[in-house]
Structure 1
């Protein structure tokens, strides 16, 4: 561990948040653009509102509980986006499933995470294999590249769930794939309203660890809500509008960081920053002058990780979305 890391001025590994010094040394232009982008998102308002004249459907989102139980607000749909456990044994998974079953929500959706080894026959632990261990999923909708259509309050929602995740650990981790062999191409049904994955999309609530191919699928399908986890420090919500502002933002973040001094020399990233500002200001003005409140037709990304970073403690709250 270097001195700056020891002093808390540099992050220890890729799973930790970037410090201010990290961000400035990597790319001050990227740091400024990220701040600008989120200010513009805030000014654009909510990405969508429930349809008029119809009751809202309340979706409660959690992920990465890692054997722990959390306070779950009331709602219509409960979604757990993976990493129910640490060890991934059938017995530990069953405890978490039983806890989810006890919740009063009409629909309960589960997607497994890389720590939930039992669900993937390739990563299932030897004691579970020898014992022929099984889990009881009665009362839950477990989605493994699966789709379910649910009717709530007279409205139908199509929910699609996928557990796959880029390689990030030992063979005991479930549903891993090599980053060079993406499983995402045309995988998500176009009618999907709510997408549930364990993996985040690239450049959004992911510390840069998300999958760019999953991001491409989001652009193709444009689900109203995407729930995921995996990257604990990425917890939160972020609007997406799939427009020129977002495209310029993602293009800038996809460029290799040039470093503190080189960022001050004109380069293509300057144009990306300019387009984020130009299209963002245009979108804000159009929204409030021409469209008015409730006129947005975007989507929402939710990193619902309940684990507070790498502390091993559950501190984050369930994320509630009315759709």
Structure 2
């Protein structure tokens, strides 16, 4: 992720990446884990006001029971993001993983990023440790259980469609219920105001073999669609400062009537789907398999109405 972090953090951040993991592995969704690291890095950048030194370190450690939080005894791979920024008082550090808690100004952040990291780590039976002091910077360390299974070697799928378990089983069974859709190599406009989520989604779509076009402001979407010609799909966040995703699509529809749409949201309160029309809705945080399913569903002929909520896991 070093190149992605460099591009996201900017030239004023000196980034050092240190691998002390001894080759230890964890079992997790790659996109979710990348997004967690990206969220931690961007929060560290903001704590340094965009200028300073950041170190991302992987490690390997054996822990006794409850040595960190409520973790069971065992081996843990660690990912630590350290900054030399403003640091936090103990009362602030205790609350940073609460949903919607943020010390940023209105419009600068929702506080959801860190709560999603907390949810991911707990889902993996891991723990999080924060070491911080005002004026002395912050280190956030993720402790993820070591996975001792043999690494999975990816191979071309067999014509029979058999899978080897995990998310691929879910993906295969759900795709069987979908109409046949050629969703390879789509040109996709991604509209997202959060640079962390935008970068992560672009990276995921490229990994799936698509051609994503980033757009960090919904008011620029029309110009980008006109510039890039035949765009197959728009993936859009819902709540954005200058224009919501549904408002943007409503304005674009008379000009670009044939472009498919997929809304992405992290807010449970947006479950009222009338504003989404007949478009698919994907919940954040999502896995690579979840994103692939959502793209296939959004491109399917005769898209369902009302929209179907696609699970993030």
TM-score, normalisation: structure 1: 0.27
More strand by share: 2
TM-score, normalisation: structure 2: 0.27
